[in-house]
A and B are shown apart, each in its own frame.
Chain A
């Protein structure tokens, strides 16, 4: 019997959407599928995990998982792996997924594959390189479990509507495995629709020149109605908008109906996060910018002229 596990990430007590996607993949690989959920909200999430296809949920609601970074999760998961010997463990490709998988790897000595877009078999993972220009299949060898980090939104979750058996796991973490301790949390309140769910995304890059120009994108997004605002890493690194805006390899993967890239050059690492959009519009003043070549509609122009004019035009058409 083959067993596939899913590391189900909880953020602020809420189950991350990646878990249902990973469970969908796990079901194609094994007849026995379990999820591991650690931290406040874990037991409550078990119902959703069961509905998404987990037969078993190893859960602990202990605070220790929320107040430390990676160490306690890796300690508990490592122990469970040694006890139950799954063939493969799927992780979300998030910071937390990487932190836990990287630590578990040191303990299991098994192979780890990051940035997978598909897992065709227990011993095979598929990834994209060079910004999605090349697709590579990798054979996974060595001791089990194979550890695979899957990019978000690589598959569509297909719930089974099942119910999971909850197995409570103890959270007795040795001092040495606790690691760094969370002392403060600073959050900016999120506004507007979520990037992953928006039908239209207006995204800004270094070409916007500073944080103030993002107000221009906000205005366009609200004129369209229900549109979300995103950004390139250059804009995030510059501190113009928080990391939650970032689209691309190290940020979110989005698949909206329309993606409008304003002042973004189209670096491969950005493109992997947005090339799944149904239609791409790019506004760039450099006619040679790579983003213009991949766009369905490429506009050679200055964002400071095009965006306000477009906002006006949309308001005019919708009669407001």
Chain B
């Protein structure tokens, strides 16, 4: 079973994100990483091919810096990488991103496409299902476990109060929830081997997408900083418990 994993490069998840003068998130020249939310899906993909054979391809769209995300995926164990970089894709909206990813995924046969539920920096949470629809694949989102049963997948989907089990024909796309599994750390050997693994660097033209398919239809027109929360009082020690109880009483809660 061949699996494609969508691997997004995001500005340092622990850092402070900033908007540039063009109102777009500053993505270049800031410390970045593979989206932690994509590591869970990558781990599930690696486990699947370890059990059933096949290869994992990490696909990403992003600036040159995004190479770091693909390399991390290769170091964790993905077999090949694809990075689509193009100036026209700066500020790509959800639909343009989905078109690019779908076109890049279509270049290699895969029975399964895995993505994160939502990206750490954009958190649109719809790109993967749009990719699935463009590819004509069924999809199940918010998956926390999966098994291959013959040609179909048995997937557990996180719900409000528990989980649902779905039978999903392949080829399919799933999105994986954070915490679904414990992602592995790249070994030193993995990091060394990553440099030798096949890596395709593509432009939008390589994907055969027309200019009108790449035009984003959203523009930021206004950015306003919300006033910072006033903050209150910080207490410590013996009086703390009484103070919380006072506050609850004052609010009419007790």
Chain A contacts to B: CB under 8 angstroms: 11, 69-71, 74, 95, 98-99, 101-103, 105-107, 109-115, 124, 128-130, 132-142, 149, 176, 178-190, 199-200, 224-225, 227, 233, 236-239, 242-244, 249-250, 257-258, 260, 275, 278-281, 287, 292-301, 306, 309-310, 313-314, 317-318
Contact = CB atoms under 8 A, between A and B. Distances in A.
Given A101-B126, A137-B220, A281-B247, A200 B253 contact: yes
Interface stretch (B57-65, B72-80, B166-174, B187-195): B166-174
A180 B168 contact: yes
A106 B251 contact: no
A243 B235 contact: no
16 contacts: A71-B139, A98-B129, A105-B95, A111-B218, A113-B218, A128-B226, A140-B218, A181-B167, A187-B161, A188-B161, A239-B179, A258-B253, A281-B244, A299-B236, A299-B244, A306-B241
Interface residues of B, number: 78
A114 B161 contact: no
B123 A114 contact: yes
B202 interface: no
A141 B140 contact: no
Nearest to B157: A69
Q: Is the interface of A mostly helix, strand, loop or mixed?
A: mixed
B139 A314 contact: no
Contacts of B168: 179-181
Interface in B207-254: 215, 217-226, 228-229, 231-237, 240-245, 247-249, 251-254
A113 B118 CA distance: 14
B133 interface: yes
Contacts of B253: 199-200, 224, 227, 257-258
10 smallest beta-carbon distances between A and B, as pairs: A237-B179, A142-B217, A102-B129, A179-B138, A106-B133, A102-B126, A180-B168, A296-B232, A184-B165, A137-B222
B189 to A, nearest CB: 29
Contacts of B54: none
Contacts of A124: 221
A136 B23 contact: yes
A292 to B, nearest CB: 6
B98 interface: yes
Interface of B: 17, 19, 23, 93-95, 98, 117-118, 123-130, 132-134, 136, 138-142, 154-155, 157-169, 172, 177-179, 215, 217-226, 228-229, 231-237, 240-245, 247-249, 251-254
Given A135-B226, A181-B168, 20 more contacts: A11-B160, A70-B129, A70-B139, A98-B141, A99-B141, A105-B98, A106-B98, A112-B124, A129-B17, A181-B166, A183-B165, A187-B162, A257-B253, A292-B234, A297-B243, A297-B244, A297-B247, A301-B240, A313-B245, A314-B245
Contacts of B160: 11, 242-244
B226 A102 contact: no
A275 B136 CA distance: 40
B35 to A, nearest CB: 13
Given A114-B123, A114-B126, A257-B252, A136 B233 contact: no
A298 B218 contact: no
Contacts of A113: 218
A189 to B, nearest CB: 8
A111 B154 CA distance: 33
Nearest to B126: A102
Contacts of A243: 158-161
B6 to A, nearest CB: 14
Contacts of A183: 154, 165-167
B161 A244 contact: yes
A310 B123 CA distance: 37
A11 B150 CA distance: 31
Contacts of B124: 112, 114-115
A110 B94 CA distance: 10
Contact of A105 (B94, B123, B221): B94
